[in-house]
Structure 1
Amino acid sequence: MTYSEAIDYLYAQLPVFHRVGAKAIKPGLDNVIKLCDYLGNPQEKFRSIHIAGTNGKGSSSHMLAAVLQSAGYKTGLYTSPHLKSFTERIRIDGFPVPEEEVADFVVQHRAFIEDLKPSFFEVTVGMAFDYFARQNVDIAVVEVGLGGRLDSTNIITPLVSLITNIGWDHSDILGDSLEQIAFEKAGIIKPGVPVVVSEYDPETQAVFRKRAEECGSQLLFGSDLFVVNNFGVSEKGREISVETLTENSLALTLGLLGTYQLKNIAGVLGVLNVLTGLYSHSGSSFEKLRISPDAVEDGLANVVGLTGLKGRWQFLQRNPTVICDTGHNEPGIRNVMESLQTVTYQQLHVVVGFVNDKDLSRVIRLFPKEARYYFCQPDIPRALDADVLAEEFRLHGLVGEIVKEVNLALETALSRAQPEDCILVTGSTYVVAELNQL
C-alpha cells in the first residue's frame, strides 16, 4: 500500500470531521483507549504538554515545540487539521512523519481498525502516539482537536496543561454558553498536573478554578504573570518586551506576526516557567527541563522555520500585500481584524469562505464595510455555498463578487487590486489550505 492509497483508505473508511462535521465525532474515549491499549499504550512512553483552547492552541503548540527544539530536546508535535499534507499533523523536530510510516501503520493495523471502527481523528491520535514512542521523543506537544474533556488526545497525563482562551466556536457540540465551553476545555486538567490559562476572563475563570481545585492542580493565568509590550514589526519579526512579576524585562522577537500572538505568548511563557521549575507546586513532581533564555529567544524568533507553521497571519506577497490567516470563528476573526489595523493600505480586498456549521451572525459583523469582497468555498463537503455566503453578507450591507474556487477568487482580487492595496484571505482554515501560494 502506498501513502496515497493509505490516505484514501482512511478517508473512505473512517468518518472525517473536516469533511462531514459533527457526525464524524465518536463521543467518549473508549475507542482511543482500546486503540492505544492495542498499540501498547505508547502515550505512557514519553513526556508531554497538552494544549486546548478556542483559538491560539495551534500557534502556542508550535511556539512551545520550537523552544523545546532549540533547547536540545527531541520534540514531537501533534496538531490538526493539516493544511497541505496529512503528514503535517505529526512532526518530530519540525520534520513531518515520513509518508512510508503512515502507509506502514495502516497496513500493519488495518484489521484492528476495521474491527474497532474508530474515527479518522482517533486513528490519527493513535498513529502519532505510536510514532512518538517508537522514535523515543524526549517530549511531545499535543494539541487538542476539539473541546478537551472527550477529545481523543485526552488520554495523556502531561507535565503541564495549557488552555489558551475561551470563545464561541462549535457551540453545537461544546455547549451554548462560554461556561459550558470552558467546562469542556477544562476537562484536560489532570490531578496534580499544573495548568496555565493564557487569558484571564471573568466569565470563565471560576470554571477553571473549580476544576483545578478538584484535581489539586496548580492554576496560573498567563495574563496575571506577564505584561507584554508591543513595539511593532521589524525585519526580524514582531518585537516585544515581557515584564514579569519580579519586574524583570525580557526582550523577544516573535516569528509569528499577528497581534493576537501577544495574548498567546503569556501562556507559552507560563508553561515554560512551569517546565523549568520557576513556579513550583507541591502537587506536582517531575524532572525539571533545562531551557535557557537563549533557547526561548531562538525558538520564538524562528518558530516558522523550526516547526513549519503556516497560515497564521502569513504574508504571501507584497505590492499588493497578500495576507492569509486561518481565523475561522468569532474570536479568530476578531483577532484578524485587530492585526489588520497594523497594516497600511489604500483599499482592502477580502477573499472569504466558510464551512456550513459556523454561526455567521457572530462573525459577519466583524468584517469592515469598506472592503471589496470575493466569496468562495473550500472544496470539501462541509463548505458553505458561496452563493449562500454572499447573501448572508449582503444582508449585513457587505457586497462583492462570487468566485467559488479559492485560487480563482484570489486571482480575481489580484486583478482588481492596485500595488498599494491589501488582500486578506480568511474565513476558514480550509480556504487557506487550498491556496497555491501557501
Structure 2
Amino acid sequence: MSYQETLDYLFNRLPMFSHIGAAAYKKDLANTIRLCEALGNPQRRFKSIHVAGTNGKGSTSHMLAAILQTAGYKTGLYTSPHLKDFRERIKVNGEMCCEAFVTQFTQRIRPLIEEIEPSFFEITVAMAFDYFASQQVDVAVIEVGLGGRLDSTNIITPELSIITNIGWDHMNMLGNTLEAIAGEKAGIIKPHIPVVIGESLPETKPVFERKAAGDNGIAPSPIFFAETTRYVTDWKYEQHQLAVEVADNRHQEHQVYHLDLPGIYQLKNLLTVLEAVTQLQQKGWRIDHQMVQQALRQVKKLTGLHGRWEIIHLHPLVVLDVGHNIDGIKQIREQLELSACKQLHIVMGMVKDKEVDKVLALLPAYATYYFTKAQIPRALDEKTLQQMAAKHQLKGYAFEEVNAALHKAIENASKEDMILVCGSVFLVGEVRNI
C-alpha cells in the first residue's frame, strides 16, 4: 500500500471517534494490550510522562516536550487528534514520524487488525509506542485521548502522571458528575509514581487524594497540587505573547517566564508544567531554569503546536482556537474580554455530542457569527447550529464549509476587526492558509 492508501485503510477500516463518536470508544484495554504484546511491548522500552485532563493537556504536553528537548533529551510526543497531517500525532524532537513507518507498521500489524478489529485510536497508540521504541527515545510525553482509566495509553508505567483539570466533557462516556469524571481521569495514577494535579475543585480533590492514598490495598502515590505550590503574581499580554511572573510558595522566589503560547489560559498550564519539572528534577532529570525559560519562548517552533489562540493573519486579526467544551469556551471568552478590536466575527462549528446549548449561552451576542461545520459525520449541521444560536440572540450566516465561512468573515471585516475560528478541533484543522 502507498502512504495515502494506508491512511484510507486506517480511516475507513477502523472505528474512529472523530467520525462516529462514542461507538468507537472501547471500554477496556484488551485490544491495546494484545497489539503491544504482538509488537514486543514497546511501551516498556522507553520512559514516559502521562498527561490527562479535560482541558490543557495538549498545551501541557507540548510545553513539557519542548523543555525536555531543550534539556538535551531525545523526546517523543504523542497527542491527538491531529489538525492537518495524521503524523502530527507521533513526533520525536518535534519531527513527525515518516510516511514509510506508518505504511510499514500498518502492513506488519494488518493481520492482527483484521482479527481483533481494534479502534483507530488503539492502533495509533500502538503505532506511537512502536515508533518511540524504534527511535530509542529517552522519554515520551503521552497525552491521554479520552478519560484515563480505560484510555488506550493507560498501559504505560510513567515517570510522572499529570492531570491538568476536570471539567464537563464526554459525560456520555465518563459520567455525569465531576466526581465521576475525576475518577476516570484519576485512573492514570499508578502506585509509587508521583502525580501532579494542575487544578482541583472541592468535588474532585478528594477523589485524587483517595486514589493517590492507595485505597483497597494498593500502594500510595506521592501527590502534588500545582495550584498550592506556585501562583501567578503578574502577567502581561504584549505583541501576542505572555510574560508571566510566578511566585514559589516554598522558596519565596519570583521568576518571569515568556510564553509564545499567548492564550491567558496558559497561566494555569504553566503552573502545572513548572511543578511537573520540579518532580522530574527530584527524580534525577537534568533540567535547569535556563532550559525551561528557553523552551517556553519557542514551544510552537520546537513541537509544532497549533490551534491554541493561534494568530494566522493580522489586519484583520484572525485567530484559531480549538476550544470546544464549556470550560474551553469560558477561557476563550476571558481572552476576548482582553482583546481590543473594532468588531468581533466568530466562525463556529461544533459536533453533535457536545453540550451545544450551554456553549452557545457563553458566547457574546455583540459578535457577528458565521455558522459552519467540519466535514465529518459527527459535525452538527450549520443550519441547526444557526437555529440553536438564535435562541441565545447570536445572529449571523450559515456556510457548509469553514473556509467559505472564513472567506466571508474576512470580506466583511475591517483591518481593526478580529475573526475567531473555534468550536471544534476538526473545524480548526480544516482551515486553509489565508
TM-score for both structures, normalised by structure 1: 0.97
**How far apart are the structure 1 equivalents of 2:200 and 2:426?**
30
2:338 & 2:102 partners in 1: Cα distance?
41
Question: Which of 280, 286, 299 lines up with 1:275 in the alignment?
Answer: 280
Deviation of 1:397 (Å): 1.3
> Does the aligned pair in 2 maintain the 1:237–1:301 contact within 8 Å?
no
CA distance in 1, matches of 2:338, 2:140: 34
- Note if 1:159 corresponds to 2:162: no
Equivalents in 2 of 1:421, 1:169: separation in Å?
31
Q: What's the CA shift for 1:2?
A: 1.2
Match of 1:263 in 2: 268
Consecutive unaligned residues in structure 2, runs of 5 or more: none
> Aligned partners of 1:388, 1:116: CA distance in 2, in Å?
38
Residue 425 of structure 1 aligns to a residue whose secondary structure is strand
* 1:6-17 paired onto structure 2 within 5 Å: 6-17=6-17
- Structure 1 counterpart of 2:347: 351
Q: Which residue of 2 aligns with 1:424?
A: 420
| Aligned equivalents of 1:108, 1:428: Cα separation in 2 | 33
SS at structure 2 position matched to 1:133: helix
Structure 1 residue 235: Cα displacement:
4.3
The separation in 1 between residues aligned to 2:239 and 2:393, in whole angstroms, is 38
Question: In the alignment, is residue 437 of structure 1 matched against residue 428 of structure 2?
Answer: no
Q: Equivalents in 1 of 2:96, 2:199: separation in Å?
A: 31
- Matching residue within 282, 292, 311 for 1:296: 292
Matched with 2:312 is 316
CA distance in 1, matches of 2:320, 2:252: 36
1:12 CA displacement: 1.7
Residue of structure 2 equivalent to 1:55: 55
> Residue 392 of structure 2: which of 377, 392, 396 is its match?
396
Residue 199 of structure 1: CA displacement?
1.0
CA RMSD, Structure 1 to Structure 2 (Å): 1.0
Is residue 254 from structure 1 mapped to residue 263 from structure 2 by the alignment? no
Residue aligned with 2:420, SS: strand
Secondary structure of 1:126's counterpart equals: helix
CA distance in 1 between counterparts of 2:200 and 2:120 reads 34
- Asked if the contact 2:240/2:262 (under 8 Å) is kept, the reply is no
Aligned-partner SS, 2:415: coil
2-side partners of 1:128 and 1:403: how far apart? 36
Taking structure 1 as reference, are residues 235 and 399 closer, same or farther at Cα in structure 2, changes over 3 Å only? closer
The Cα of 1:236 is off from its aligned counterpart by 7.8
TM-score, length-normalised on structure 2?
0.97
1:103–1:230: structure 2 CA closer, same or farther, 3 Å change rule? farther
User: What is the DSSP-based 3-state SS (H/G/I as helix, E as strand, rest coil) of the residue aligned with 1:240?
Assistant: strand
C-alpha separation between the residues in 1 aligned to 2:358 and 2:269?
A: 22
Equivalent pairs: percent with the same residue? 50
Secondary structure, aligned partner of 1:153: helix
Q: What is aligned with 2:243? A: 239
> In the TM superposition, what whole-angstrom CA distance separates every residue of 1:2-43 from its partner, at most 9, and x where no partner exists?
111111011121100001111011110011011101100000
Q: Which residue of 2 aligns with 1:213?
A: 213
Contact 1:200 1:222 in 2 (8 A): no
CA distance in 2, matches of 1:342, 1:236: 11
In the alignment, does 2:141 pair up with 1:141?
yes
Cα offsets for 1:126-181 (capped at 9, x unmatched) = 00000000110000000000000000000000011000000000001100011100
Report the AA paired with residue 91 of structure 2.
R
Contact kept? 1:236, 1:253, Cα under 8 Å: no
Tell me how far apart the structure 2 counterparts of residues 212 and 240 of structure 1 sit (CA, whole Å): 31
Q: CA deviation at 1:202?
A: 1.5
Measure, in 1, the Cα distance between the counterparts of 2:403 and 2:357: 26
Q: Is the 8 A contact 2:373 2:400 kept in 1?
A: yes
Deviations 1:254-292 (A, max 9, x none): 111000000111111111000001xxxxxxxx5x10001
1:116 and 2:116 matched: yes
Aligned with residue 227 of structure 1, among 225, 228, 231: 231
Query: 1:268 corresponds to which letter in structure 2?
Result: V
Which residue in 2 is equivalent to 1:281?
none
Q: Which amino acid aligns with 1:256?
A: L
